[in-house]
């Protein structure tokens, strides 16, 4: 048993939006103060103020009349400002805009220190306020560390918190290859599939909203697509990690595919996020995760190992979903066959990696 940290995101009930927006305005004030003060110090004295310097300059802000956020949040904003200024290698960052009607409005963002947001009887207590939320994780089971409240483009607020979790090694013993195809998001060597075209299903709704210029509706549909995709990828990757001791995926490069005509379905399918999920979940569960070269995995017969004349090749081959090997007679589903070859390639790689006893 070992531990890992993960971030939980929970939706806060809308009735709290007002107080959170107030907090976000205060955070913006602190951030903008840091921005201005830091810039002036650089310009006038060639001095780069550190997060600690800025904390000293903002001490007392939280004691001012009508201020909701505490000193912990003010300190974190200062530190975060200094970190970002360094990260982006700039002497000045973008101003944070609090007016929701402004075109450059900064979505609400309120940081908190570890221990400053507490879970009590179904609510989050922070800075003297209680926030009700949809507790989809059972927060009482976790020790809450640092995190943030964030707003999305639809004005909804979320509670993001870092927690420590115990990870148990996967009990799975099988190994699996995964082909990131174009039609489905992914197909495994044992024939499991995940649909990658969430966008396509909601496409006509999206078109309608676009034509009718229904901004709110448009945002809602985009958010729906995003959520559905994320949820599906999480379920798929969790199940695979639970079932297996080794997972191999092909090295399909999204950049290469975007250049072809399939750009939309490629971007849509989100290989990158599936790969990332598989990788970190495998890592947490002690499962082997390897990316293998997927050249010829589509053309090669996974039964006899030759590249028969009948196998799908090139762009024309993309249309071929099922084929029969002209060398050994095996019948193949295009993607499952590719996944089996990826699995075989992965096994070879592992075998090479193991020192001879």
**327 sits near Zn ion (criterion: CB under 5 A):** yes
Q: Are residues 313 and 251 in contact, defined by beta-carbon separation less than 8 angstroms?
A: no
- Check the CA dihedral 328-333-336-341 and report its sign: positive
**127 sits near Zn ion (criterion: CB under 5 A):** no
Distance of closest approach, residue 186 Cβ to Zn ion, in angstroms? 24
Please select the residue that binds Zn ion; options are 209, 301, 339, 342, rule is CB under 5 A.
301
Interface stretch with Zn ion, choices 23-31, 102-110, 231-239, 329-337 (CB under 5 A): 329-337
**304 sits near Zn ion (criterion: CB under 5 A):** yes
Please select the residue that binds Zn ion; options are 4, 263, 272, 328, rule is CB under 5 A.
328
Q: Quick one: 265 or 324, whose CB is closer to Zn ion?
A: 324
Q: Quick one: 143 or 304, whose CB is closer to Zn ion?
A: 304
DSSP annotation string for 211-243: HTT-HHHHHHHHHHHHHHHHHHHHHHHHHHHHH
Q: Quick one: 169 or 305, whose CB is closer to Zn ion?
A: 305
Q: List residues bridging with 167 in a β-sheet.
A: 2
Distance of closest approach, residue 142 Cβ to Zn ion, in angstroms? 51
Q: Quick one: 42 or 327, whose CB is closer to Zn ion?
A: 327
What is the separation of C-alpha 17 from the centre of its chain, rounded to a whole number of angstroms? 24
Q: Is 5 left (phi over 0), alpha (psi -120 to 50) or beta?
A: beta
What Å distances lie between residue 280 and 6, 29, 30, 156, 295, CA to CA? 11, 37, 35, 28, 25
Interface stretch with Zn ion, choices 171-179, 210-218, 297-305, 337-345 (CB under 5 A): 297-305
What is the separation of C-alpha 192 from the centre of its chain, rounded to a whole number of angstroms? 23
* Per-residue b or e along 129-148, where b marks 16 or more CB atoms closer than 10 Å to that residue's CB: eebebebeeebeebebbbbb
**303 sits near Zn ion (criterion: CB under 5 A):** yes
Interface stretch with Zn ion, choices 29-37, 228-236, 268-276, 299-307 (CB under 5 A): 299-307
**Beta 186-188 vs 288-292: how paired, if at all?**
unpaired
Q: Are residues 278 and 249 in contact, defined by beta-carbon separation less than 8 angstroms?
A: yes
**336 sits near Zn ion (criterion: CB under 5 A):** no
Q: Quick one: 261 or 321, whose CB is closer to Zn ion?
A: 321
The secondary structure element, H or E, covering residue 191 is none
Spatial separation of the C-alpha atoms in residues 139 and 144, rounded to whole Å: 8
Looking at the chain, how many residues does it have? 357
Please select the residue that binds Zn ion; options are 23, 325, 344, 345, rule is CB under 5 A.
325
Site string for Zn ion, 14-53 (x = CB under 5 A): ----------------------------------------
Q: Quick one: 162 or 330, whose CB is closer to Zn ion?
A: 330
Number of chain residues interacting with Zn ion (CB under 5 A): 7
Distance of closest approach, residue 173 Cβ to Zn ion, in angstroms? 28
Q: Are residues 19 and 157 in contact, defined by beta-carbon separation less than 8 angstroms?
A: no
Q: List residues bridging with 112 in a β-sheet.
A: 147
Q: Are residues 104 and 97 in contact, defined by beta-carbon separation less than 8 angstroms?
A: yes
Q: Quick one: 223 or 327, whose CB is closer to Zn ion?
A: 327
Q: Give the single-character DSSP code of 104.
A: T
Interface stretch with Zn ion, choices 97-105, 121-129, 218-226, 294-302 (CB under 5 A): 294-302
Distance of closest approach, residue 331 Cβ to Zn ion, in angstroms? 10
CA angle 197, 200, 205 (to 5 degrees): 140
Distance of closest approach, residue 189 Cβ to Zn ion, in angstroms? 16
Distance of closest approach, residue 289 Cβ to Zn ion, in angstroms? 29
Q: Quick one: 55 or 297, whose CB is closer to Zn ion?
A: 297
Interface with Zn ion (CB under 5 A): 301, 303-304, 325, 327-328, 330
């Amino acid at each position: 048993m070992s531990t890992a940290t993960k971030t939980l995101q929970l939706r806060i009930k809308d009735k709290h939006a007002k107080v959170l927006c107030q907090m976000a305005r205060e955070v913006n004030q602190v951030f903008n103060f840091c921005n201005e003060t830091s810039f002036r110090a650089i310009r006038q004295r060639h001095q780069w103020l550190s997060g600690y310097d800025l904390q000293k300059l903002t001490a007392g802000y939280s004691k001012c009349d009508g201020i909701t956020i505490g000193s912990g949040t003010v300190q974190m904003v200062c530190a975060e400002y200094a970190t970002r200024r360094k990260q982006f290698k700039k002497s000045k960052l973008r101003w944070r805009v609090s007016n929701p009607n402004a075109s450059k409005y900064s979505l609400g963002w309120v940081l908190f220190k570890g221990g400053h947001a507490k879970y009590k009887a179904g609510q989050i207590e922070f800075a003297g306020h209680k926030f009700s939320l949809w507790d989809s994780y059972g927060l009482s089971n976790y020790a809450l560390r640092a995190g943030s409240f964030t707003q999305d483009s639809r004005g909804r607020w979320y509670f993001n918190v870092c927690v420590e979790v115990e990870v148990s090694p996967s009990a799975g013993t099988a190994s699996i290859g995964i082909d990131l195809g174009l039609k489905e998001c992914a197909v495994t060597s044992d024939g499991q599939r995940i649909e990658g075209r969430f966008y396509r299903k909601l496409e006509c709704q999206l078109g309608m909203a676009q034509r009718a210029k229904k901004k709110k509706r448009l945002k809602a549909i985009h958010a729906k697509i995003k959520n559905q995709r994320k949820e599906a990828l999480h379920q798929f990757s969790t199940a695979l990690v639970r079932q297996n001791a080794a997972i191999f995926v092909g090295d399909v490069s999204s950049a290469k595919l975007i250049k072809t005509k399939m750009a939309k379905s490629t971007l849509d399918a989100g290989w990158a996020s599936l790969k990332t999920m598989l990788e970190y979940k495998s890592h947490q569960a002690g499962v082997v995760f390897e990316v293998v070269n997927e050249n010829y995995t589509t053309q090669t017969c996974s039964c006899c190992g030759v590249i028969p004349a009948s196998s799908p090749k090139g762009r024309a081959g993309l249309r071929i979903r099922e084929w029969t090997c002209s060398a050994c007679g095996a019948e193949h589903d295009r993607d499952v066959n590719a996944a089996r070859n990826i699995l075989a390639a992965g096994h070879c790689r592992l075998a090479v990696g193991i020192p001879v006893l």
